[in-house]
Structure formats: structure tokens, C-alpha cells
Amino acid sequence: MSVSSVRVLSVLTLFAAVPTMVLARPAYTPLVIFQDAAPPVKLLIIGLVLSIIAALVVCGRKLMQGPRLAGGSAYLRGLRLGGPLAGLVGAAFGALNMAVGLANVKDTPPLWVLAPGGAEIMALILLGLIAGSVAVISNWAVEARIDRTVLGA
């Protein structure tokens, strides 16, 4: 092969690779999910993350208090049910937005167009379940501490 034919071949290879480079999209990460979310969903995500952090803080403070047993247990009990429900409400809001968007287009969009909405829905459900799980585990730890303190076990 001559040098000129190698150059032509390399240029043709480059042109063949260009369409795949154009189709390549950046990775979809949790940060991108948050950035692409609607403002009410962003508030819900922030609220769920803050409630997880608050549950951990309440649990830590209750376990470090010693014999005093005041405050925080009601928050943990409320978050046990409220966290998953808040995540499901946000997921239902996202699913409703997806359904309305699909109803307003003539042709069904490809899956890669719908995937970010699905990822947002799954992220909200996951955050709600994490908030509820953290609250349940924290509540168990606090209740065990209260039982040990009150019963002297």
C-alpha cells in the first residue's frame, strides 16, 4: 500500500466513525438527573436528602444523650412512613408528566428519549425507600436505647 492510499483509508475511517461520535451522549449520573428534574421534583429530592441527614443526626444525638430521653423519636416515626410516600408522590408526578408528554406527540419517541424520565422516577422511589429505611433503623436503635435506659437492662 502506498502512503496516499493509507491516507485515503484513514480519512474514510474517520468519516465512518463520525456518526457514532455524534450519537455518543455523556453519561447519565444522579447529578444530571437532579439538574434535568422539574423544580417541584428538585425540591422533593432536596427534602428527601435533608430528611435522611436529619434522621441520622437525630439518631446520633439520641444515642449520645445518655439518660435523658427527650425529643426526636416522633420525627423518626413519622419519616418511617412519610419518606417512602414522598418518594412515591414524586415518582407519580414524574410518571404523569411523562404520560402527558407522550400523549402530546404524534410519533412514539425512542427509548433513549424516555430513559431520563424513567431514571428520575426510579431515583425518587429509591430516595424515598432510603429515607424510610434510615428512619426505621434509627428508630430501632433509639427505641433499644430507651428500653435499656428505662428498664435498666
pLDDT computed for residue 132 by the predictor: 94
d(CA 73, CA 135): 10
pLDDT of residue 67: 66
Q: What is the pLDDT of residues 122-147, one digit of tens each?
A: 999 999 999 999 999 998 988 888 78
Per residue in 22-74, pLDDT (tens digit) is: 555 668 888 988 998 889 999 999 999 999 999 999 999 888 887 676 677 88
Q: Beta-carbon neighbour count of residue 32 at 10 Å?
A: 13
Q: Kindly report the pTM of this predicted structure.
A: 0.76
Half-sphere exposure of 43 (CA within 13 A, CB side): 4
pLDDT for res 3: 64
Sequence ranges of the domains in the chain: 28-151
Q: How confident is the model at residue 63, as a pLDDT?
A: 85
b/e per residue 45-81 (b: at least 16 CB within 10 A): beebeebbebbeebbeebeeeeeeeeebbebbeebbe
CA distances from 114 to 23, 109, 117, 118, 149 (A): 16, 7, 6, 7, 53
Q: How much is the pLDDT for 74?
A: 87
Q: Are 55 and 138 in contact (CB under 8 A)?
A: yes
Mean pLDDT of 113-127: 92
pLDDT classification of 20: cutoffs 50, 70, 90: low
Q: How confident is the model at residue 10 (pLDDT cuts 50, 70, 90)?
A: low
